A = this chain, B = another copy of it.
Amino acid sequence: MQKRHINPPKKIDLVIRAARKLFVEKGFRGVAIPEIVKESGVSVGAIYLHFDNKEKLAQTVYQYTLDQFTEQFSECLAGRETAQDKLSAFAELVFELTEEDPDMMEFMLSACKEIRSHLIIPLCTSDAFTEVQQIVKRGITSGDIKAGNYFLTAISYTGVILRAADLRLQGIIEQPLHDISAELIDNAWSSISAAPLPS
């Protein structure tokens, strides 16, 4: 759908990564351009050559992050057949990214809220999240997932998963999510499953 490349030329990529890291640490308005210069090694002039302004830069960071997530989610879905398996794949990806690339995850979940542009796509209408909604929709049709408003069902599942990721990113959950993912995924699935789980 979007034309952006996941691997843009090196310098731009450096700027995006550095900006994302700093946005997560200090918030969009808390980061000054000179800091991005220091973190990325790219000069002010070069940054403004590639991005119209700070806001545009942040939007690019957001789109870059969304694309990254969507691509990884697509890969994770390979070989997953049932709705339950596909949703588990979503949860596992979220948990893995939370541990391995916390900047990315935190930016996706909350740092981006500071960018108040009207043009920005809300997370839950992004490709990966609409795909989750479609998985749920088909799961309802096939009888695996309880009947109901598919959007509400989808956010119930993702609500459990994303809240855990959020609390882990804030340092409130101290264990790696991998250690507790089974319990969380079980809770999330229970919230939307059609049949009671066999004990």
Binding site for B on A (CB under 8 A): 26-30, 110, 113-114, 116, 122, 124-125, 148-149, 151-153, 155-156, 158-164, 167, 170, 172-173, 180, 183-184, 187-188, 190-193, 195-197
Contacts and interface: CB of A to CB of B under 8 A. Distances in A.
8 smallest beta-carbon distances between A and B, as pairs: A196-B196, A159-B163, A191-B191, A29-B29, A156-B187, A159-B159, A159-B160, A187-B191
A109 to B, nearest CB: 10
A162 B163 contact: yes
A113 B170 CA distance: 10
B188 A124 contact: no
A156 to B, nearest CB: 4
A183 to B, nearest CB: 6
A139 to B, nearest CB: 14
